[in-house]
A and B are shown apart, each in its own frame.
Chain A
């Protein structure tokens, strides 16, 4: 379980890290098209996170009585939207 939450945590961490970098890049206006293309790779994250069920097919850790299997995927609905928004703002 710990392992799972850690993995989840690091995925979130990566997103946030990228967010900071994006703000930095826009300020210094070095966002070249190749950097933008690299940002598009973020769109692969939701695929990795959801297409490998062993990662989340577990009852624990439950959250307010909701098994991990359900809240993990609901959380990824939100993370997926955040990632798409991020890529949108960076690529504009």
Chain B
């Protein structure tokens, strides 16, 4: 067999090379090369408003400045806070929705399509819808909360940090929970039905079935959803740009927004690159976990 397969294999290899090269070189050119450039720039002084300073190598000075920069630390804190809160809420709510939708019922297709809508619309649009709903004058949130007696008078949500976070978190949960639910639903549908039937015969309660069958078997999917969402939440930019602009002051500013401001408004490309590298390292650390988790199953499937 091998004797006959050899020329074919060589031919395959050649074809594979020809097929893979364009895509891989595009990716290398516009993603990997810029990334290395960012790394290189983070070791240099580059302030485009001050061309007289040139572009000297300054070692780790940018990183030293970063360590002393309170706005960096607070934006990192905001990002972590946002990530932890939204991802946990989304996983819990997503699981509830997935469980509810995990059966055939009338209008299931419609329900699934509806829940996909928030995921599909532009994040900026979602942010603006929530800003509108939390507008101090025209907002329906104030109208509702006053009507049911939670608030005495309309509230200005975006002038204080604690209250500004509420629409931020709600809008992200609204936008991405459906995505989590759909992932989890797909996972649920892979679970062998007979396990439930057997448990039911044994007289196990629904609660017991959830904790001892559903959740353990769903673990890999939950893990994937968790990592997907964590990476996404950590990069949050659009939502806060359109919803709070990072304000009041910089009280809700995430690290991506701070980095963007440093680069494109202050034109400090060197320092901004150092910030970018930090974001990348943290994200990539998380991504490595994902690739490892997924990579194992990848090779498993190939066999």
Q: Do A and B come from one complex?
A: no
